[in-house]
């Protein structure tokens, strides 16, 4: 039986669990990318690995910051979550361009099909941002759980 709207559950719980899994995956991938610098043969490959490591590390850190207040029943929480989602999306796009530049440098200026993976990742981040921003703005559960439907005097 689904949880009542004023309790933590449903898509809100899915958001929390999926993002904690994402933090674990980003952390593991960042560690692997950092280790890959040891086997890099050129400065371009080192730069590509370091930019990717920074991207994954920043994403994991911001996602932890995003999830920290998720159970805080303050009416300000959804706005804070939306703002952090926007930062994650913006930084993902920025890092996609940095990763593409580093990949071009690593490949001696030759564009390869593998170089588009960071661009695809930024597209996925923008879709993720749109979906969850819309959810936190329009969801009945979010409104009920965080008290956005209550009069200001009750908050």
- The predicted pLDDT at position 65 comes to 92
What pLDDT sits at residue 134?
95
Which residues span the domain enclosing 134? 10-145
Measured CA to CA, the distance from residue 96 to residue 101 in angstroms comes to 9
State residue 153's pLDDT score.
44
Is residue 154 assigned to a domain? Answer: no
What's residue 47's pLDDT? 80
Q: What is the pTM of this model?
A: 0.79
Residue 139 confidence (pLDDT): 92
Q: How many domains does the chain have?
A: 1
- Fill in the DSSP letter of residue 113: G
CA distance 20 to 76: 22
pLDDT at 114: 62
Residue 66: name the closest of 79, 54, 55, 80 by CA.
Answer: 80
CA distance 149 to 73: 12
User: Do 123 and 130 meet the contact criterion of CB atoms below 8 Å apart?
Assistant: no
The C-alpha angle 118, 119, 122, rounded to 5 degrees, equals 90
**Domain-embedded: residue 5:** no
In a domain, 44, yes or no: yes
pLDDT lower than 50: segments of the chain: 152-155
> What is the pLDDT, as a whole number, of residue 137?
93
Q: Report pLDDT for 154.
A: 45
Report the chain's C-alpha Rg in angstroms: 19
Asked whether residue 117 is domain-assigned, the answer is: yes
Report the Cα 62 to chain-centroid distance in Å: 7
Res 115: pLDDT: 63
4 assigned to some structural domain = no
Q: Is residue 2 part of a domain?
A: no
């Amino acid at each position: 039986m689904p949880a009542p709207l004023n309790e933590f559950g449903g898509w809100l719980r899915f958001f929390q669990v999926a993002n904690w899994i994402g933090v674990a995956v980003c952390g593991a991938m960042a560690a692997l990318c950092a280790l890959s610098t040891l086997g890099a043969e050129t400065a371009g490959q080192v730069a590509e690995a370091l930019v990717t490591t920074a991207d994954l590390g920043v994403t994991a850190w911001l996602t932890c910051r995003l999830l920290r207040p998720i159970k805080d029943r303050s009416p300000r929480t959804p706005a804070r979550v939306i703002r952090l989602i926007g930062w994650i999306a913006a930084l993902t796009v920025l890092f996609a361009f940095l990763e593409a530049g580093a990949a071009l440098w690593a490949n001696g200026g030759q564009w390869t099909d593998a170089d588009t993976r960071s661009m695809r990742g930024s597209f996925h981040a923008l879709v993720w941002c749109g979906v969850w921003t819309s959810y936190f703005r329009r969801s009945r559960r979010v409104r009920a759980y965080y008290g956005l439907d209550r009069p200001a005097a009750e908050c």
